[in-house]
Each structure stands twice: as structure tokens, then as C-alpha cells.
């Protein structure tokens, strides 16, 4: 995940050709404690390369970057960042409605008109920081909901399997045990009956583990498939 969780500072990429702008942003982010690490790009090509390497949580992006403009860089970020975990803040000299619509369509989250003062940027970052935190909380809730649905589905499947397997399994075990006892009474052994009995006991053990399965984990299986591991579940 590109964004940090909770109050942990973000990895930040600042892409602007103006050194004064980069310095202003650096000072404000440091003062607010938002940035854990800040990287600076002077043009679009450099910004694109840096983001591909680090997937920053916050990108401050000049819309008019040289070589490759910020709008194209934002589109590239969204191609990589399909879940929109990176927050993109545009700097733009053109704040008319058509330009702002273009920035949003490219995948921008927020913008600030330039030239700007450090107070302007600080105020916009305070708003953006809240939106970033809300985004993190929403994604965390979505993950928890998906986990809850997965566990619910596993529980329903487990109940169905128990119901469908228990009755025929009980009959199989009972009859196999009776046959085994008959041979034992005659002092004889029947390897086929013993194999049937042992495998039925093994199936019964799997059903018991299904009943106790609460923290399922999947493992690699033959042919690249993945299966639920019944044997190391914490609840067993």
C-alpha cells in the first residue's frame, strides 16, 4: 500500500521545476510532519521514473512540468495505482473550470492555484491530510468487510460440507468397523476393510477440523492451485 496508516508520515514526491516552490513545499511538509521522506523531481520524465520506483503516498505535481506535463504523469500514476492509494495534489496557474475538470479527469485529488504562499499551501495540505486519512480509513474498512464476507462464506461452506458428509461417513465408518470386528473375531485380517476404515477415520478428522476452522490460510498445491490448510489452523 502506498499510503501509510494512521499518523505515520508519508513518502512524498514533489515534481516542480521551480526551486523556490520546491523549498516552500519542503518546509511546510516538514513543519506539518506529513513527510517521512521527500523526493524532488525537476521534470515529468524524472517524476514518472521516481514514482514507478517508490509509489509515493503523496505526489505534489506541477500541471505544466517540462518534458512530460503533470497531467500525463497523473494518468500514468493512476494506471499503476488502480486503488487510488496515492493522493495527487496539482499545482496549476490555470484555475479556470475547464482546466480543473481536466485535472480531475486525469485522476487528481486536489489542486492549488499558483503563485502561492507558504500559508496557502499549508492550508490546502491541512485539508488534504484529512482527506488522506479518510481514504485510508475507508480502504481499511473495505478490507475488513471483505475479510468478514470471506469468513462468512467459509463458515457457510463448512456447515454445508459437514451436513453432506456426516451422514454417509457415519454409515461408512459403522459398517467398516463391524466388518473389521467380524474378521478380528475369526482371527483373520482383511487389508481392504482396514484401508477403508483408516481412510474413513481420516475423512472424519478432516470434518472435525472443518468445524473448528476459524482462521483459514491457503497454501500452494499441485499445479499452482491453492487450497485451505486444515492442519495448521490456530484454532485446531
> CB-based burial of residue 14 (10 Å sphere; 0-12 exposed, 13-18 middle, 19+ buried)?
buried
**H-helix or E-strand containing 112?**
strand 110-113
Given a cut of 50, whether residue 3 has pLDDT beyond it is no
- Collect all residues with Cβ–Cβ distance below 8 Å to 1 and sequence separation of at least 6: 85, 139
- Give the global pTM: 0.63
- How would you classify the pairing of strands 226-228 and 110-113? unpaired
Q: What is the CATH number of domain 10-116?
A: 3.40.50.2300
Q: How remote is the C-alpha of 51 from its chain's centroid? A: 19
pLDDT digits (tens, 9 = 90+) for 172-205: 888 888 888 888 888 888 888 888 888 888 888 8
Largest CA distance in the chain: 100
**H-helix or E-strand containing 226?**
strand 226-228
Rounded to 5 degrees, φ, ψ at 226 are -125, 140
- How would you classify the pairing of strands 87-92 and 35-41? unpaired
Q: Are 200 and 179 in contact (CB under 8 A)?
A: no
C-alpha cell at 102: 481536466
Q: Would you kindly state where each structural domain of the chain is located, as residue ranges?
A: 10-116, 153-228
Higher pLDDT, residue 183 or 123: 123
Q: Are 150 and 53 in contact (CB under 8 A)?
A: no
**H-helix or E-strand containing 5?**
none
Q: Are 66 and 47 in contact (CB under 8 A)?
A: no
Q: Are 51 and 25 in contact (CB under 8 A)?
A: no
pLDDT digits (tens, 9 = 90+) for 139-161: 788 878 877 777 667 667 666 76
Cis peptide bond upstream of 115, omega within 30 = yes
Q: Which of 17-31, 81-95, 118-132, 203-217 has the lowest mean pLDDT?
A: 203-217
pLDDT digits (tens, 9 = 90+) for 9-58: 789 999 999 999 999 999 999 999 888 899 999 999 999 999 999 999 99
Higher pLDDT, residue 69 or 207: 69
User: What is the SS3 assignment for 186?
Assistant: coil
- Collect all residues with Cβ–Cβ distance below 8 Å to 200 and sequence separation of at least 6: 169, 172, 173, 176
Rounded to 5 degrees, φ, ψ at 170 are -60, -40
Confidence of residue 89 (pLDDT cuts 50, 70, 90): very high
Amino acid at each position: 500500500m502506498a499510503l501509510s496508516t494512521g499518523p505515520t508520515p508519508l513518502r512524498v514526491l514533489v515534481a516542480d521545476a521551480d526551486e523556490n516552490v520546491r523549498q516552500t513545499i519542503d518546509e511546510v511538509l516538514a513543519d506539518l510532519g506529513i513527510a517521512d521522506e521527500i523526493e524532488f523531481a525537476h521534470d515529468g520524465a524524472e517524476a514518472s521514473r521516481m514514482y514507478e520506483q517508490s509509489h509515493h503516498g503523496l505526489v505534489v505535481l506541477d500541471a505544466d512540468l517540462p518534458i512530460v506535463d503533470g497531467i500525463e504523469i497523473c494518468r500514468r500514476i493512476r494506471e499503476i495505482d488502480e486503488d487510488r492509494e496515492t493522493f495527487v495534489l496539482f499545482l496549476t496557474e490555470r484555475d479556470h473550470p475547464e482546466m480543473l475538470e481536466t485535472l480531475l479527469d486525469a485522476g487528481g485529488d486536489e489542486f492549488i492555484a499558483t503563485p502561492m504562499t507558504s500559508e496557502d499551501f499549508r492550508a490546502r495540505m491541512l485539508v488534504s491530510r484529512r482527506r488522506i486519512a479518510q481514504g485510508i480509513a475507508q480502504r481499511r474498512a473495505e478490507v475488513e468487510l471483505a475479510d468478514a464476507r470471506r469468513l462468512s462464506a467459509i463458515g457457510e461452506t463448512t456447515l454445508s460440507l459437514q451436513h453432506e458428509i456426516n451422514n454417509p461417513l457415519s454409515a461408512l465408518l459403522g459398517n467398516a468397523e463391524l466388518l473389521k470386528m467380524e474378521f478380528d473375531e475369526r482371527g483373520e485380517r482383511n487389508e481392504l476393510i482396514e484401508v477403508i476404515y483408516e481412510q474413513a477415520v481420516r475423512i472424519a478428522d478432516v470434518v472435525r477440523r472443518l468445524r473448528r476452522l476459524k482462521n483459514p490460510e491457503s497454501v500452494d498445491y499441485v499445479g499452482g492451485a491453492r487450497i485451505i490448510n486444515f492442519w495448521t489452523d490456530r484454532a485446531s
